[in-house]
Structure 1
Amino acid sequence: MIDLKSLVRTIPDFPKPGIEFRDISTLLADGEGFAVAVTAMVELARPLNVDRIIAIDARGFLFGAPVAVALGAGIIPARKKGKLPGATLGVDYALEYGTDRLELHVGAVLPGHRALIIDDLIATGGTAMACVSLLREAGAEVAGAIFAIDLPDLGGANRMREAGVNVSSLMAFAGH
């Protein structure tokens, strides 16, 4: 069995002093490790019976696409402001220093869809909670969220659980 945590590189003091950045590029570069991670996500997702994978910009795309293929589900990109052509549904959310905006194409997710959020990492949960808000506004059922990495000390996964979202992750790292 592959130890996925050993494939995640930690870069100290990035992007600022005191932050331990968890870099998934080393996991992605390891073919066997990436396959194990995707398979684990598929196994977590399968019982949720979803028809839409909502992949968060941009590293969520890397995990979301193979999970969607394995499940026979559609994949919907949740993008940062201005990245989607056509009409969008959007929500602003708070960042540590300012705000950002997350958008979905209008009509990509409809009432009755069972949606699963996928991203590489959950920290404070701001982006993921914005995605939950968008999906609920569109009338979709949020069946859950799966992350490769959880930073539990930052509280994002707990924040999502408090909002009624089933959250899973493949691994957790202490600290920021």
Structure 2
Amino acid sequence: MSLATWVNRHYSEKGPAKWLAFLLELVAASVLFLLMLTTCLDVAGRYLFNNPVPGATELTRLGLALMVFAAMPVITWRAGHIVVDLLDRVLGKKVVKALGLVSALMISSSMYFLAVRIFELGERSLRRGVVTEFLGLPSGYIVQYIAIMSWLTAAGVITLGVYRILFISHK
């Protein structure tokens, strides 16, 4: 079975979004595997050989940022977040749709402007030559990656939110 066939069978998204979701999940899964491997090697090295993996804690921090922010746009697009719908039956369909639209606009605009600020901080870190404490890796690239994934999440919130509100009827 080819990769395209497998992706088409397992991903419900349409067009480029399908391949973007696959790529982001591949990044998240790969980083998770590397985190597991790093942790196992660090623990084994520490307790069996009295020689831990240098920078394992720092690699774990960076890996967690990569993994979480790679998964965030996909989870958002698939509406995988926790939703509390206590008042949906009381308020009625039109009010719930209006509140959903307001919510999507607020969340997406917040994510967008937050990402702008995060990207600026990443640029500043790169200009100043800020590096991680132990391994000396430039931290600005990770910060800018977080901003880019936040922009993708904002795009996912607004497109999915508006689509669901306007085109999918509530129960």
Which is higher, the Rg of structure 1 or of structure 2? 2
Question: Is TM more than 0.5 here?
Answer: no
Q: Whose helix fraction is larger, Structure 1's or Structure 2's?
A: 2
Name the TM-score, length of structure 2 as normaliser: 0.26
User: Larger strand proportion, structure 1 or 2?
Assistant: 1
Task: Pick 1 or 2: higher relative contact order, CA cutoff 8 A, min separation 6.
Answer: 2
TM score, norm. by length of structure 1? 0.26
